[in-house]
Amino acid sequence: MFGGFFDKLKNGLNKTKENLTEKINVMLGNYISIDEDLFDELEEILITADVGVDTSMFIIDELKKKIKEERINEVSEVYPALKRVIVEILGSTREDFTKQDTPKVMLVIGVNGAGKTTSIGKMSAKLKKSGYNVLMIAADTFRAAAIDQLEVWSKRAEVEIIKHQEGSDPAAVVFDGVQAAKARNVDILLCDTAGRLHNKKNLMNELGKINRIIEREYGHAEKETLLVLDASTGQNAVSQAKQFNEICKVDGIILTKLDGTAKGGVVISIKHELNIPVKLIGVGESIDDLQEFDASEFVEALF
């Protein structure tokens, strides 16, 4: 994630920088000493940058501890200390998405419009490029054009797709997809699912049914549930993640549309409040613009 992508990330986080780090810099310039007013103002900036109330309060508490422990008394040292606090919250583990245990099923969930189908397309391309035999399943059968959209991506990524007609039973599509995966020695099965969060009970039943079929027909395969969130929705993305996590255990998050949003602070909130790792981030429209999330690089680009 060096060079080109880091620059893209840095540029993509421009609006968040204006909303967060630049405001912090200006604010700190107004203080001669470290006092409660400084912390109050800093907390307010964090909240308005969509870091969230709980997380912002936690950051301030941790920052105060750090300042005391490290005997910091210069205002100029507050900024680097804050940066260290945020890196500690995000953690430093970065998984290599191109190294996967096989066979594997990746169940991709998320509300409509978050960039779910696009993310599946980009993930397929990335995995195929790494030498995996990938198969897509179009199990979002309720949304008009979801199947067509996934088919467009399957052609772009040059990956095969298993699909039924619109309105058919998602579990039946998954069943066929699993049989095809076994017959074709597929390494990774990427499954698109419906995202109607307003009807939680239906979604819960549907995902339960899909999971049972995978368990029964493909029990030896690794299973991972990835949630796609739109970064530009800010704190709404956090509440979506909480709701989805109640429906099924979420193993990782794909954060899309980080470029062009002032709400990139939501990354910190997701990690602190839910402790679900952000695995992939999207900072552009092209097929290669979905990359592994690296906490220290994210903070570096932001600060």
Asked if residue 203 belongs to a known ligand binding site, the reply is: no
Asked if residue 110 belongs to a known ligand binding site, the reply is: yes
Q: Which amino acid is at 220?
A: H
Asked if residue 117 belongs to a known ligand binding site, the reply is: yes
Asked if residue 196 belongs to a known ligand binding site, the reply is: yes
As beta bridge partners, residue 134 has 188
Q: What is the pLDDT of residue 3?
A: 53
Q: What is the pLDDT of residue 93?
A: 65
CB atoms within 10 A of CB 163: 21
Query: pLDDT truncated to tens, each residue of the chain (303 aa)?
Result: 445 666 777 777 787 878 888 899 999 999 999 999 999 999 999 998 888 899 999 999 999 999 999 999 999 999 999 999 998 998 866 778 888 999 999 999 998 888 899 999 999 999 999 999 999 999 998 877 889 999 999 999 999 999 999 889 999 999 999 999 999 999 999 999 987 766 777 888 888 999 999 999 999 999 999 999 998 888 888 988 988 888 888 999 999 988 767 777 888 898 899 888 889 988 777 777 788 888 888 888 877
Instruction: Spell out the domains of the chain, with CATH numbers in brackets.
Output: 4-90 (1.20.120.140), 104-294 (3.40.50.300)
Asked if residue 258 belongs to a known ligand binding site, the reply is: yes
Asked if residue 177 belongs to a known ligand binding site, the reply is: no
**Tokens read off for 90:** 């995000």
Asked if residue 195 belongs to a known ligand binding site, the reply is: yes
* CA 124 – CA 175 distance, rounded (Å): 20
Asked if residue 131 belongs to a known ligand binding site, the reply is: no
Q: What is the pLDDT of residue 2?
A: 45
Asked if residue 111 belongs to a known ligand binding site, the reply is: yes
Closest alpha carbon to 104 in 222, 227, 215: 222
* CA 261 – CA 3 distance, rounded (Å): 22
Asked if residue 116 belongs to a known ligand binding site, the reply is: yes
Asked if residue 257 belongs to a known ligand binding site, the reply is: yes
Asked if residue 251 belongs to a known ligand binding site, the reply is: no
Q: Distance between terminal CA atoms of the chain?
A: 17
2 three-class SS: coil
Enter the pTM of the model. Answer: 0.89
Asked if residue 64 belongs to a known ligand binding site, the reply is: no
| Residues 1 and 291 sit within 8 Å (Cβ to Cβ) | yes
**Tell me: the pLDDT tens digits for 198-256?**
677 788 888 899 999 999 999 999 999 999 999 888 888 898 898 888 888 899 999 99
Q: What is the pLDDT of residue 5?
A: 62
